[in-house]
Amino acid sequence: MNAPVVTRTTATTTGAAAGRRARASLAQLLLGARLTLAGGPSAWLRTAMTGVGVGLGVALLLVAASAPAILGARDDRRADRDPSSYLVGGPLAPSDTTVVAEPYETTTHGQVVVGLVVRPDGAHPPVPPGLSALPGPGQMMVSPALARLLDGPRGALLAARLPFERVGVIGAAGLAGPHELYVYIGEPRDRRPDAAPGSGQGFRIDHFGAPQRDASVPAVLTMLIIVIVAVLLLPIGAFTAAAVRFGSQARDRQLAAVRLVGADPGMARRIAAGGALAGALAGCAAGVALFAAGRPLAQRVTLFGSGVFAGDIRPSPALAALVLVAVPASAVAITLFSLRRVVIEPLGVVRLAPTTRRRLWWRLAMPAVGIALLLPLHAGGEEVFGRGKQAQLAAGVVLVLVGVTVLLPWVLDAAVRRLGPGPLAWQLAVRRLQLDSATTVRAVAAVAVAVTGAIALQMVFSVAEDRFTRRVSFGPGGESPGVTRLMVETGSPGSTAADLGRALASVPAARQVWAWASGGMTTVAPIGGDQANSQLSATLAVADCASLRRLATLPSCADGDTFLAVPGASSSGGAPPVISPEQLADPTARTPSAAALPGPGTQVRAGGYLAGLSDAGRAWVIPAGAGVVATRPDAPVSTLVLATPRAVGPELLDTLVPYGYIDVDRDEPDAYDKVAVAAARVDPLAHVLGFERTVVDPIFGQIRMSMYVGIAAVLGMVGASLLVTMVEQLRERRRVLAVLVAFGARRRTLAASVLWQAGVPMVLGVALAVGLGMGLGAALLRMVGLPPSFDWANIATISVATAAVVLGTTAASLPVLYRLMRPDGLRTE
């Protein structure tokens, strides 16, 4: 477009001609834009459909361009409040500027509430973001969402275990998202001062903020992210491309009219390009508006558990610019490309008949090359992908997914050509597909890409889930069917263990209750010859005889007795060894491979939860009369030292912390909440844990969540686009429909034909997608070093969900069909 400038300076004749041509081209582009924007009601409708469609696509692309900011901001704020700075440097001494912070976690009605219990050592403790000051003893500050939950109808069971004075609300700077349930609790004064708070896992810190943030993402996760991005963006692209062509038949008629008044084919093309450009630009404007309007709404949605702050949804400028340039550019490219198959004649439009059969080889080559790119990659173990491998992976995935869209027209053509005769509705549908499958293919291709990706991802996820999901369990099993076992940790003095037992026994639907004062012990003398692990550690449980009998089978018991409990003969494997002080001192002794107990007469240091790992414990000698007993098969413990209160003495006892286990009916509603409320009577900060809890790696969890959300969004969007396409097709065919009605066609005949017309490509598309999806999934699994495994139930679910979307949207277009089955279509315009 620099020709006009040249004209002005050099004024050569060719320059002048080029300038005139450029100006004429520009005028034609503008004419196209004007025809699109001001071409009467039908042109308006067409532009509106394109604008809304492209706008939807652009808005989604802008959201995608904001993903780095969204995730980055969440991670930043999480890291800023993280108390794990204790991890670097040595342990801090208590000072005016330190605070002991202990993670708090509970669950209410299935929602997880997390936070920190804080105990400042002095007057100037550090303050996390979002707070102006730490809550004082017995006070708490909650996130807005938690405040709503506590004040709401379902907050009673939670409020009962957060009996603290609410003194403030956490600001946005201290929250991952607007829906996060977070709390800061000032440790109550009456809590045992010498015990570490709660489970004893408190950290003494002098500032908040994670020590390091750039956790390198394992290759497997990189792989998942790349695949998800490709799977989500490609259908959006396909959808946007389809939206650009909304109403193209009406456009072709308009061009024919332009040809009639003297435009040559080149002019017609430029006019078409101008129209497409105008539509796409309108779409971009609509998309930006939609994005801006949707941002505040996004805050209301609970995504990723805690939601997204509107302020975090900021597109990266480079990506946003790319979207806003690429969309109009591809709109023009798509339009010009689609016009290649059309001859625009002055007297109406003649389409080039699809004489050439679609070629198969390059369509097959695309996914094949894609798979070939994927196969040499290995993402197993701790491997981290560099740029090159990321690009190779992305290219491979994109080629396979694009392969779906290029194979689908061929598959559909080949299949439809072979479809046999049938009832009239079937015949109408099949003939329609034989004559022109392109429109339907465009709509179904987006579905097929989404399904291919979903199936591949599903395969990888179900396998990767095991890797990134830990099942946290406590003690050996022994749960009976129909029963859930929960574990309770408290930070109260050990002498209150009996209170905990009584509190738990009062829970409705409690089947069985265990409670004792728990601690650890470490031998004072090192194990003879072992350099690596020189001390023997064991668990200590102190309780009255009645409570101990629920843990182990005791021949006799009196206060003052001690027992060495090992799994009974029924349990697999030999009984763990009991190591006498003499054996311990033997210079050839090594650390036993299995759990072992120190024998009678051994000198140990014993105390609260972690006391055994430091010198903080109190000296104790395992009494000489301690005999070996068998733990009960259903008990939550296996190998430990059992003692009655008199055997350890009140001082040692009070450094221990009450522990409890409770079996409740699995059907009991809100069992967790009820146990937590009971435990809170002994210690409001008691920690209740499910016996088996699935802990998902947070990054993995986020990735999986985004996939579900994204695929649902894509399917919804594809459904919308399908609906527009169907309605448009029906409107284009209103004359034929009216003639069929004149001949007495029944509604159900025409409805069935519309359903067949969508159903046949849908079935073929899903079949192709399942095949390629399983191939892609197998290739991705191979990268992680795993054999392919197919989860048919999942594949069926995805296929059925897709079919439901396609048939649902088709069914939604039936009212339009019925409305068009009116004689208006017979009128000649």
Partner 1 sequence: MTPRDPSARAVAASAASAASAASAASAASAGAPGTGPARVGLAGPADPSGTSGALLAAVELRKRFGATPALDGASLRVDAGEIVALMGPSGSGKSTLLHCLAGIIGPDAGEVHYGTRRLSAMSEAGRSALRRGEFGFVFQFGQLVPELTCAENVALPLRLGGVGRRAARERARAQLARLGVDDVAGKRPGEVSGGQGQRVAVARALVTEPRVIFADEPTGALDSLNGEEVMRLLTQAAREAATAVVLVTHDARVAAYSDREVVVRDGRTRSLAG
Ligand X SMILES: Nc1ncnc2c1ncn2[C@@H]1O[C@H](COP(=O)(O)OP(=O)(O)O)[C@@H](O)[C@H]1O
Under the rule (CB under 8 A), what is the footprint of partner 1?
351, 353, 421, 424, 427-428, 431-432, 434-436, 735-736, 739-746, 749, 823, 826-828
Which residue, 414 or 826, has its beta carbon nearer to ligand X?
A: 826
Segment 19-48, which members bind ligand X (CB under 6 A)? none
The C-alpha atoms of residue 360 and residue 381 are separated, in whole angstroms, by 38
**Residue 597 burial (C-beta neighbours within 10 Å; 0-12, 13-18, 19+):** buried
Instruction: Name the pairing type of β-strands 182-186 and 687-690.
Output: unpaired
Q: Which of 611, 704, 693 is nearest to 654 (CA)?
A: 611
Tell me whether residue 105 or residue 824 sits nearer to ligand X (CB atom).
Answer: 824
Can you tell me whether residue 542 is helix, strand or coil?
A: strand
- Strands of 524-656 (E only): list them: 537-542, 552-553, 562-567, 578-579, 597-598, 603-607, 618-621, 627-631, 640-643
- Nearest CB to partner 1, comparing residues 376 and 823: 823
Give the span between the Cα atoms of 594 and 13, in whole angstroms.
96
Q: What x/- string results for residues 594 through 613 when contact with ligand X is judged by CB under 6 A?
A: --------------------
Q: Which does 434 bind (CB under 5 to 8 A by kind): ligand X, partner 1, none?
A: partner 1
Binds 745, which of partner 1, ligand X, none (CB < 5 to 8 A, cut-off by type)? partner 1
Task: Pick one of partner 1, ligand X, none as the site partner of residue 743 (Cβ within 5 to 8 A by kind).
Answer: partner 1
Shortest approach of partner 1 to residue 351 CB, angstroms? 8
Nearer to partner 1, 25 or 749 (CB): 749
Minimum distance, C-beta of residue 360 to partner 1, in the bound complex (Å): 24
Q: How far is the CB of 828 from ligand X (least distance, A)?
A: 8
- Residue 431 contact partner, candidates partner 1, ligand X, none, CB within 5 to 8 A by sort of partner: partner 1
User: Which entry of ligand X, partner 1, none binds 749, CB below 5 to 8 A by partner kind?
Assistant: partner 1
To the nearest whole angstrom, how small is the minimum distance from the Cβ of residue 180 to ligand X?
Answer: 58
20/417 with CB nearer partner 1: 417
In the list ligand X, partner 1, none, the entry touching 746 (Cβ below 5 to 8 angstroms by class) is partner 1
Task: Please check whether residue 445 is in contact with residue 238, taking contact to mean a CB–CB distance below 8 angstroms.
Answer: yes
432 binds, among ligand X, partner 1, none (CB under 5 to 8 A by kind): partner 1
Name the residue among 117, 133, 105, 114 with its Cα closest to residue 177: 114
Name the nearest CA neighbour of 117 among 218, 22, 25, 195. Answer: 195
Q: What is the DSSP string of 318-342?
A: HHHHHHHHHHHHHHHHHHHHHHTTE
- Least distance between partner 1 and beta carbon 254 (Å): 17
From the list partner 1, ligand X, none, partner contacted by residue 471 (C-beta under 5 to 8 A by kind) = none
Q: Which residue is nearest to ligand X (CB)?
A: 824
Q: Which amino acid is at 221?
A: L
Identify the helix (H) or strand (E) that includes residue 695: strand 692-696
In which element (H, E) is residue 520 found? strand 510-523
Residue 740 binding target from partner 1, ligand X, none, CB below 5 to 8 Å by type: partner 1
Q: What are phi and psi of 344, to 5 degrees?
A: -95, 110
Rounded distance between C-alpha atoms, residue 108 and residue 104, angstroms: 13
CB of 754 to ligand X, least distance (A): 23
- Measuring CA to CA, how many Å separate 354 from each of 308, 348, 358, 434, 521? 49, 18, 9, 10, 83
DSSP 179: T
Give min distance, CB of 732 to ligand X, in A.
19
DSSP letter for 471, please.
E
Considering the complex, state which of residue 253 and residue 502 has its C-beta at the smaller distance from partner 1.
Answer: 253
- 778's tokens: 């197998």
Compare residues 359 and 827 and give the one whose CB is closer to ligand X. 827
Q: Which is nearer to ligand X, 418 or 827 (CB)?
A: 827
* Residue 587 CB burial class (10 angstroms; 0-12, 13-18, ≥19): exposed
Nearest CB to ligand X, comparing residues 667 and 824: 824
* Binding positions for ligand X, 790-829, rule CB under 6 A: 824, 827
Write down the least CB distance from residue 726 to ligand X, Å.
Answer: 24
421 binds, among partner 1, ligand X, none (CB under 5 to 8 A by kind): partner 1
Coil, helix or strand at residue 87: helix
Q: Supply the minimum distance, in Å, between the C-beta of residue 726 and partner 1.
A: 16
| Cβ count near 154 (within 10 Å) | 13
CB 460 within 8 A of CB 780: yes
Q: How far apart are CA 272 and CA 39, in angstroms?
A: 13
| Least distance to partner 1, CB of residue 348, Å | 11
340 lies in the site for ligand X, by CB under 6 A: no
Among partner 1, ligand X, none, what binds residue 559 when CB lies within 5 to 8 Å by partner kind? none
For residues 20 and 34, what is the distance between their CA atoms, to the nearest angstrom? Answer: 21
Interaction with ligand X in 724-753: which residues (CB under 6 A)?
none
Q: Could you tell me the smallest distance in angstroms from the CB atom of residue 454 to ligand X? A: 46
- Letters for 117-156 (x = contact with ligand X by CB under 6 A, - = none) are ----------------------------------------
Cβ nearer to ligand X, comparing 24 with 826: 826
Calculate ∠ Cα 22-28-31, nearest 5°. 145
Q: Smallest gap, in angstroms, from Cβ of residue 435 to partner 1?
A: 4
Strand 348-351 relative to strand 342-345, pairing: antiparallel
Interaction partner, residue 204 (ligand X, partner 1, none; CB < 5-8 Å by kind): none
- Residue 195 tokens read as 């015990």
Q: Which of partner 1, ligand X, none does residue 321 bind to, with CB < 5 to 8 Å depending on kind? A: none
Least Å distance, CB 793 to ligand X, is 53
- Considering beta carbons, is residue 574 or 823 the nearer one to ligand X? 823
- For ligand X, which is the closer residue by CB, 87 or 742? 742
Residue 310 or residue 739: which is nearer to partner 1 going by CB?
739
Least separation in angstroms between residue 384's CB and partner 1 is 55
Helical H runs in 340-437? 361-374, 387-418, 424-435
How far apart, in whole angstroms, are the C-alpha atoms of residue 730 and residue 734? Answer: 6
Q: Which does 357 bind (CB under 5 to 8 A by kind): ligand X, partner 1, none?
A: none
The tokens describing 454, both together, are 């979903």
Q: Which is nearer to ligand X, 190 or 824 (CB)?
A: 824
Cβ at position 731, least distance to ligand X in Å: 16
CB 653 within 8 A of CB 542: yes
Q: Closest approach of Cβ 369 to ligand X, in Å?
A: 55
Q: Which one, 151 or 824, has the nearer CB to ligand X?
A: 824
> Which amino acid would we find at residue 798?
I
Residue 390 vs 434, nearer CB to partner 1: 434
Residue 233 structure tokens: 């963006």
Calpha distance 746→733 (Å, rounded): 16
CB of 271 to partner 1, least distance (A): 25
Nearer residue to partner 1 within complex by CB, 292 or 742 = 742
Q: How far apart are CA 79 and CA 71, in angstroms?
A: 12
| Residues 448, 766 contacting (CB under 8 angstroms) | yes
Beta bridge partner(s), residue 567: 631
DSSP state, 114? E
Please report, as ranges, the residues that interact with ligand X according to CB under 6 A: 824, 827
